[in-house]
Structure 1
Amino acid sequence: MFGKIISYVKDGNKLNIEFENRKGIIEIITKDIINIFSAFKYEDHFSRAIENLEIKECDYNIKKEEEFLEVSTGSLIIRVYDNFKVDFYNKNLELLCADYKAERKPFLRRGESQLSALEGHKLVDYNNNFKIQVVKELNGDEKFYGLGDKTGYLNKRGYEYEMWNTDDPTPHVESFKSLYKSIPFFITLTGNNTFGIFFDNNFKTYFDMGKENEDYYYFASDDGNLDYYFINGDNMCDVVSGYTYLTGKTPLPQMWTLGYQQSRWSYYPQSRIKELEKSLRENDIPCDAIHLDIDYMDNYKVFTWDNEKFNNPKKFLSDLKENGFKIVTIIDPGVKKEKGYHIYDEGIKNKYFATDKDGLTYVNKVWPGDAVYPDFSNSEVRKWWSNNQKIMMDTGVSGIWNDMNEPASFNGPLPDDVQFNNEGRGGDHREVHNVYGHLMNKATYEGIKEYTNKRPFIITRACYAGSQKYSTVWTGDNQSFWEHLRMSIPMLCNLGLSGLGFAGVDVGGFSFDCTKELLSRWVQVGCFSTLFRNHSALSTRDQEPWAFDQETLDINRKYIKLRYKLIPYLYDLLWHGESTGLPVMRPLVLHYSNDENVYEINDQFLVGENILVSPVVEQGKRVKAVYLPEGTWIDYWTKEEIEGQKSILREAPLDLCPIYIKKGSIIPNYPEQNYIGEKDIKELTLDIYPGNGQYTHYLDDAESFAYKEGKYNLYSFNMSENINEVDIEIKFPHSKYKKKYDNFKIVINSENISQVKFNNANINYEKQGKQIIILLPAIEGILKIYKLQ
C-alpha cells in the first residue's frame, strides 16, 4: 500500500516520511509515547479522545540503514521499513513489538454457515477487507488486557472484539464482540516488557488478539486514518499513566458519589420514593442517592417532570436533600417528536437534530415514541444541551444518568447514511456512532459545571476513549445471573486499565430475578466498586436490601456500612488517580506483573495497593481458594498474618467476603454515617497494619473545584518497623483548607505492645481484642510503639 521509502524530513518532534504511494508520520509525543499516522481520511488527527495534548520536546536521532529508517528517543528505538512497517525496541534493543511482514492466514472454517442459520444460529460475518489494518507479530507469551468492558476473562489473548457501541439486552456472554462502549486501547504484557497501543479511530474497529492465527494479532477499521499510539512503560502502571496522559485522567468527584446508591426502573410517584426513603433509614442502610428512571418524566420527554407523579419536584427534592438523599435523574438523547414541546421546537428551529441524506430530520423510535436525535457532533448543539442542564439543576437534581446513548433505537439501528455536522466537516453515522455518547457526556459535564460550580456527577452507558474526563460508567443491562457476577470483576478491572477509574455494575443484576444468595454475594463486590449502585428492571422482583429476609438485610447492611467506613481511602485513591491515571479497582496483574500466577486471576482484585478482595462468585460455595501475591497479608476479619506467593483456602460463610490487608498499610476510616456529610468529622481513624509503609491522606471540601487552587490538606504518615518498635512519623506537607481534624484515632492491629510514646511523651492506650487503640491530637510528630520483648 505504501511502497518503498523515498525520503524523510525531520520537523520538530515529527518525522515526515515519503513513501512511493503515500506519506507517513512518526511523531514523538514523549520519549515513551510514539504516534504512527497516515492521512487516509483527514489530514489531521481529528481526535475525539485527545484534547489539549502537551507534546514534550524530546531529542531524538535518525539513522538510515539499508533496510530501515531508525529513530531513537533514548527510551525507545523505532525502525521503519518499506510499506510503513514499524517495529519498536527498548533502549537495550530488545524487541517489544513488530509488524507482521507476511499476509494474514485465517484458520479454516468448514461447512456452510447458512445451513446452521435455518435452526436459528446467528451467522457470523468474517471481514477481511478493512480500509485500515495493522498486523503485529505474536511471539508466544503475550497477554492482553484492557479494551474496556468486553465480556469474558481478564486476559483477552485468543479472543476477537469489535468497537461498535451496541445496546443488546440479551444476556451478555463471552461470544459478544461488542457492548455499549468503545475503548480501542489494550496493554500487552510479554516477558519482562510492557506496552500499550491506542488505536484512535472512532469508526467501527476490530481487534483480533491472536484468535485468527497464533502468529499474529491485528487491529483494523472500516474507515478513518491510520492513527495509533505506542505507549512504552517499565510496568503496567506506567502504561496506564501514559494512556491517560493522552486521553485524560478521571477527575476527583464529589465525595457523596462514593456512597451507596439505590435505583430501580422505576421509583414513582413521589409517595413511593418517600416509602423508599423511610425503608432505608428504618433498616439502618446508609444511602446517599436515589435514582429516577424514565417514568419521572412527562410522557418520556427529556428535561420535563410528570406533575401528577411529582406535584412539586423542586420542593420534593429539597426535602429529600435535607434528609441526606440526593436525586439522580435519567436523561436519554431521544427527543420526543411533538410540536409545542419546547426542546423539540428549539431543536427543529435551529436545525440541531441529525438528518437523513436528503437533509430531513431523521426520526426513529425510543421510549417517547417517534423521536429525533440531537447532533452532539456540533459544538453549537452541545452548548444548547449544556444549557438545558440548568432545568434539572434548578429543580435540585444532583446528578445526571445518560442512558440509551449508543444511540439506541427501537425501529432498527440508525442507518449508516444519517448525517451529522461533525464540527463543520460533515460526516455520517458510521463516523459519529461510537462517539455519540461521549459527546453527549461532554455537553452534560460542561452544563452541570457551569450551573453548579461543583464537580459534575454523570453516569453513562455508552462512551469512547477519553470519556473518563466527563463521566463515570456502568456496564449496562446485566442479568441477575451468577455468571454475570463472576464476569463483573474482569469487566471492571479492564475498564480501570482502560482509563475509566470510576466504574460499577448494577449490583444484584438488572434483568431477571435476583436471589437472596446472589444479592448477598454481589453486595460484597459492589462494596469495593467505585460506583456502588443497586439497580433492577421493570417487572423483576424487588431487590432492595430488605426485600428478602433478615439474613440478607444484615449482610447488605454489613457491607454497605463497610463501604462508608472506607470512604476516605476510596477518596484518597481517586485523588491520586487524578494525577496517575490509576483506577480504584485493579487486577492483581497491575502490581504483580512478574508473578505468572496472577495473569489469569478473574475472581480477585485489589483496591488500591493495600486491600485484596477475593469474593465468592459461585452459588453454594462456602470456601474460597485465595491467591496471595508476594508480601505478608493480614486477614481483615481474624488479623491472621499470612506469607504470600501461595494459594490458601479461606472459610467463607454467606456473610463473609475474604479481605486481606497488605502488611505496612495505613487505611483511613470514617465513623458510621447515614449519608456522607451527615457528621462533621473531627476525628480521623487510622487502621494500621504494622510494617514498613507510607500513606498520604487528602482532605478538601468534597464538592467544589477549590482544590484546583490548592485549597486542600495533606496528612503524611511514614511507618517503619524493626525488631523493637514501630515508628510513625506524622507530617502535614500541605495545609491550605480551613477544615482540620482535631484528633487521630490510631488502631494498631497487634497485641504485641509494651509502651507508646508520642513526641517523647508517654501515651495511654486501650486494648480491644487483637487491637490497640491510641488517641492523639492531630498535630505533627513521631509516634513510637514499643513491642513486647
Structure 2
Amino acid sequence: MKFTDGFWQLRPGVEPIYAREVHDVWPDGDHRLQVFATNGVISKRGDILNRPLLTITLWSPLPDVIGVRIEHHSGGTRPLGFDLVGAQLDQGVVVIDETGGTLTSGRLTARVRAGAPFELAFEADGRVLTTAGEKSIAHLRVRPDAQLDGVPVGNARGGTGRALASGYVHQQLALGVGELVYGLGERFGPLVKNGQTVDIWNADGGTSSEQAYKNVPFHFTNRGYGVLVNDAGHVSYEVGSEAVERLQFSVPGESLEYFVMYGGTPSGVLERYTELVGRPAQVPAWSYGLWLSTSFTTDYDEATVTRFVDEMAARELPVSVFHFDCFWMREFNWCDFEWDPRTFPDPDGMLSRLHEKDLRVCVWINPYIGQRSPLFAEASTAGYLVKRPDGSVWQWDLWQAGMGLVDFTNPDATRWFQEKLRTLLRQGVDCFKTDFGERIPLEVEYFDGSSPDRMHNLYTQLYNEAVFAVLEEERGAGDAVVFARSATTGGQRLPVHWGGDSTSTFESMAETLRGGLSLACSGFGFWSHDIGGFEGTPDPGVFKRWVAFGLLGTHSRFHGSGSYRVPWAFDEEAVEVTRTFTQLKLSLMPYLYQLGLDASATGLPVMRPMVLEFPDDRGVEYLDRQYMLGSSLLVAPVFTESGEVEFYLPAGRWTNWWTGEVVDSHGAWRSEVHGFTSLPLYVREGAVLPIGARVDRPDYDYLDGLTVRLYPGATDDAGVTVTAPDGRSARFTVVDGVVRGEGEAVWRAEPA
C-alpha cells in the first residue's frame, strides 16, 4: 500500500506521525528495551505538549531473533498474530548508555541511536544488515476519501474486498545495492520480489494471477537475514516499489510487530524462522508415491476407478494413493461427508477392495456446508457456523448454494467437524484433500470474538489444524498427511500443500514452479501440484513434460478439472514417460525420505531454489526455471515440446544422471535437447547418493539391497544417512575414498 506521492509529498488524505527523534531509551527488565520516539525534535519542555509519541519495544524470543513492536495508542486490542511455537523466555542482553541502547541476541544486535534523526540498525558478524532511518517508522492517519493504490483489494467477486482503514502503521527497512528479496508465500510471479507490491491476503485466484492461496508475511534477503511480520491480517508490502531504496510493510491499526532473524545464509534464516513458527510434521513414506485422481467434473463410479487402477497396474505404473474429488458426495450437498449412494452404493466394500490393491484412499473436503446438506441445519442450530453481526448465519451462493462456514474458533464446532472426518477414517479413508479456505468473509462475527480481518488469512490454519489433528489421532503421528490448498504462516507444520488451479500450458507449468520455489522460500518443506495442469486438457507434449517435472518433487498427483489424467488418454509414449519417472522417483526414495525427515528437523525444504544451495553464486539469484532436489540433485524441467532447454550449472563437477558424463562447470549456462523420457538431471560434485532396490512402491525397506553411489569430488567424511520407514537407519561415510557403512543394512557401494 502506497502512502506517498513521489519522494517529497504524501498522497491526499494521508497524515503521518513519523518517528523522528529518540527521546528516551529505557530497560524493561533484563531482556527488553523500550524506545520512545517523538514526531519532532524536543528542544524545550513545552515541546512535549499536544504531541504524539511512538513506543518501540525490542525483545528476543530466540537467539539470533529480535522482535520489534511499534505502538501509537496501545490501549486497544492487540492484533492477532501467529503461534510462535518455538519462542523461549529470557533471551537477549540489554545495554543502555549515553549514545542510546542495544539489544543483543546470539549474533544479532539491534542498535538504537539517541536523539535525531531516528535510526534503528540491525547488525551481525561485524556488519550492518539493514537500517530503519528517517521517516522509516510511522503511524499514518488516513481519511476515508484518500486515494491509495490497490484499495479495495482482495477477491471482490467473493465479497472479500477490504475497506480503507482509518490508520496504519508502517516500517521501512533499507535495501542495499544488489539486495534481493524472496518469500512472501506461494506467489506465481518472479521469484525475486524486488519492485513488486504484494498484499498478504488469501484469495482463490488461480496460478495465473497476482492473488495467492498461501500468503506468508515472511521474507528473507541475500544479505543473510529475514523478517516475519507477526500479524495474521492484511499486510501490504512495497518491495522497493514505493520507496525504491527500502522494503516497506504496513498493517491497519495502531500497532505493528515484526521479527528480524539472522542466519548468515538463506538456509540459516529458514532454520531460525521455522524454529520460531514451527517445522513440518513428518509425512509417511507411502505419500511420496503417485497419487491418481478421478479429476473434478468427470463422470466416475467404482467401475471407473477400478478400471483406472487395474490399467495402471497392467502397464507397470505404480500408484500409491487414489483420490476421490468433490463428486464422491452428492451435488449441492458439499460437504455432508456422505458417499453419493447413486454412484457409490457400497463405499465400505469399495474402500476394502481398494485397500486389497495396496492403495491408500484420499477424499476431497472443504470447510463449507451447503444449505441442502442435512448438516447445515444441524450445525446452524448448534451455533457451529460463522454468523453475521445480527446473529443470523452468514451464507452466500458462490461455490455451494446457501453455504455456511464452519466456525473453527468454536471448540465444539471443531470437534463436531472432526467427528464427521473420524467416521470416514474408520470407514477406510486414509487422508483428506483440504480444499478452499480462502473465501473467508469480513462482515461476520466469530465465536471467540476474533477480528474478521485477522481471521481471513488465519482461518485456513484453524481448518487444516482441525483436519491434521484428527488424522494424527486416528492414524498416528508420522502417518498423517493432508493435501491442502490454502495456508499462511504456520501452515508448513501441516503438510502437504499443492499449487492450486493452473492451466494446461507450458506457461502455467512454469508459473507453477515459480509458486513452489516461492513457497519453499517461505518455510514450507513439502509441495505438490496438478500434473498436466488443472483447467483444460493438456496436449500430449505438455502432459509428458509435466510428468517428468511432477515426479521429481516430494509429492506427485495426476489431477485435472474436466478430463481424466490417466497417461494412456494422451498417447502410449505418455505411459512410458510415467513409468520412467515413477520408477526413478521410487528408486530415489532412500534419498527423498531422508530429505523429508531432515525438513522436519531443520526446516529446510526438500525442493530448493538454487539460492538456498548456492548463496554465494550471483548467477543463481534470479533462477526460477530449475531447482535443487535436496542438496545433491539439480533438476531443470523442460518447458518446450521440442525438448530444448537452457539451464545454469554452478561451478563444480556435475555428473549427468542419464549418461554418467562428468561436466566441469565454472558457473555457466548450458543448452541441451531432451526427449520426453529425460530432462536435465545432474548430480552435484561430492554427492554420496543412496539408491533403493525397488521401483514398485515408495514404502519399502530402504536398507535392504541399497546401493550407495559415490560421485566425483567426494571427500573424506562426506556421507549420507538412510532411514527406513520403520525407523531403522544406517550411516554411510567416505573414508580414504571408500564408502563405509554403520548400522544394519544390506548394501553395496559403487562409483557413479
TM-score (norm 1): 0.82
Q: Does 1:70 align with 2:84?
A: no
Cα separation, 1, equivalents of 2:163 and 2:254: 20
Q: 1:313 to 1:225 in 2, by over 3 A?
A: farther
Cα separation, 1, equivalents of 2:580 and 2:703: 21
Partner of 1:774: none
How far apart are residue 501 of structure 1 and its match? 0.7
Equivalent residue letter for 1:395: Q
Q: Does 1:730 align with 2:741?
A: yes
Report the 3-state secondary structure (helix = DSSP H, G, I; strand = E; otherwise coil) of the residue aligned with 1:484. helix
Partner of 1:441: 464
How far apart are residue 534 of structure 1 and its match? 1.5
Cα separation, 1, equivalents of 2:167 and 2:196: 18
Partner of 2:560: 536
Q: 1:625 to 1:314 in 2, by over 3 A?
A: same
Q: 1:581 to 1:680 in 2, by over 3 A?
A: closer
Cα separation, 1, equivalents of 2:86 and 2:136: 35
Equivalent residue letter for 1:481: T
Partner of 1:163: 200
Map 1:651-670 to 2 at 5 A.
651-670=673-692
Report the 3-state secondary structure (helix = DSSP H, G, I; strand = E; otherwise coil) of the residue aligned with 2:224. strand
Corresponding residue to 2:248 among 214, 218, 231: 218
Cα separation, 2, equivalents of 1:657 and 1:459: 27
Corresponding residue to 1:697 among 688, 697, 721: 721
Cα separation, 2, equivalents of 1:41 and 1:7: 18
How far apart are residue 687 of structure 1 and its match? 2.9
Equivalent residue letter for 1:606: M
Q: Does 1:242 align with 2:291?
A: no
Equivalent residue letter for 2:239: M
Equivalent residue letter for 2:343: K
Cα separation, 2, equivalents of 1:287 and 1:41: 56
Cα separation, 2, equivalents of 1:97 and 1:128: 29
Cα separation, 1, equivalents of 2:466 and 2:119: 38
Cα separation, 1, equivalents of 2:702 and 2:691: 14
Partner of 1:745: 748
Partner of 2:575: 553
Map 1:7-406 to 2 at 5 A.
7-19=25-37, 21-38=53-70, 49-55=82-88, 57-58=90-91, 60-66=93-99, 68-73=100-105, 75-80=107-112, 87-102=120-135, 131-169=168-206, 172-173=208-209, 176=210, 178-189=211-222, 193-223=223-253, 225-263=255-293, 264-265=295-296, 266=298, 268-299=300-331, 300-302=333-335, 303-338=337-372, 341=374, 343-406=375-438
Partner of 2:445: 419
Report the 3-state secondary structure (helix = DSSP H, G, I; strand = E; otherwise coil) of the residue aligned with 2:567. coil
How far apart are residue 395 of structure 1 and its match? 1.6
Cα separation, 2, equivalents of 1:104 and 1:71: 19
Q: 1:525 to 1:452 in 2, by over 3 A?
A: same
Deviations 1:144-187 (A, max 9, x none): 11111112122111111111111124x614xx1x2111111111
Equivalent residue letter for 2:186: D
Report the 3-state secondary structure (helix = DSSP H, G, I; strand = E; otherwise coil) of the residue aligned with 1:561. helix
How far apart are residue 46 of structure 1 and its match? 6.7
Equivalent residue letter for 1:283: R
How far apart are residue 380 of structure 1 and its match? 3.3
Deviations 1:273-303 (A, max 9, x none): 1111112112211111111111001333322
Q: 1:202 to 1:112 in 2, by over 3 A?
A: closer
Equivalent residue letter for 1:577: A
Structure 1 stretch displaced more, 68-77 or 286-295: 68-77
Report the 3-state secondary structure (helix = DSSP H, G, I; strand = E; otherwise coil) of the residue aligned with 1:533. strand
Cα separation, 1, equivalents of 2:299 and 2:363: 11
Q: Does 1:624 align with 2:642?
A: no
Partner of 1:477: 501
Q: Percent identity?
A: 22
Report the 3-state secondary structure (helix = DSSP H, G, I; strand = E; otherwise coil) of the residue aligned with 1:34. strand
Equivalent residue letter for 2:434: N
Equivalent residue letter for 1:135: Q
Corresponding residue to 2:473 among 438, 450, 453: 450
Cα separation, 1, equivalents of 2:679 and 2:311: 25
Partner of 2:10: none
Partner of 1:718: 733
Equivalent residue letter for 2:184: L
Q: Is the 8 A contact 1:376 1:439 kept in 2?
A: yes
Cα separation, 1, equivalents of 2:28 and 2:149: 52
Structure 1 stretch displaced more, 432-441 or 266-275: 266-275
Unaligned 5+ runs, structure 2: 1-16, 39-52, 139-146, 151-160
Partner of 1:707: none
Cα separation, 2, equivalents of 1:85 and 1:380: 49
Report the 3-state secondary structure (helix = DSSP H, G, I; strand = E; otherwise coil) of the residue aligned with 1:667. strand
Q: Is the 8 A contact 1:165 1:179 kept in 2?
A: yes
How far apart are residue 727 of structure 1 and its match? 1.7
TM-score (norm 2): 0.86
Report the 3-state secondary structure (helix = DSSP H, G, I; strand = E; otherwise coil) of the residue aligned with 1:37. strand
Cα separation, 1, equivalents of 2:275 and 2:92: 20
Cα separation, 2, equivalents of 1:667 and 1:317: 37
Cα separation, 1, equivalents of 2:25 and 2:136: 26
Q: CA RMSD in A?
A: 2.9
